Structure 1
């Protein structure tokens, strides 16, 4: 079993939205950002957390490089 499979929770902030959207069980961050570009093109940035501990890891802005794993 992969050690970092679905290790992230991500909170995404969208333009013109008052409440951010949250996803649990995110696997590859770069693939998730491609999903956001297609399904939620108005996303501005996302905060990435360790799913098991809820520890904040990093913030990524749309258009910047996003690695698969941290």
Structure 2
């Protein structure tokens, strides 16, 4: 079997960071990088488009434990 040496894990809705980190460890990986990406919502205010942050997406890059 050829396992991937790098894997991407995303914190799911309703999941805490600790739960995600435990899921990564149970899959046989360890986190090496954390990235946060904002999620914006487009709103029209006074006839102009404006973007407001409404949430964020947290993504972990993980390597295989050897």
TM-score (structure 2 length as normaliser): 0.34
The structure in which a higher percent of residues are strand is 2
Choose 1 or 2 for highest CA Rg: 2
TM-score (structure 1 length as normaliser): 0.33
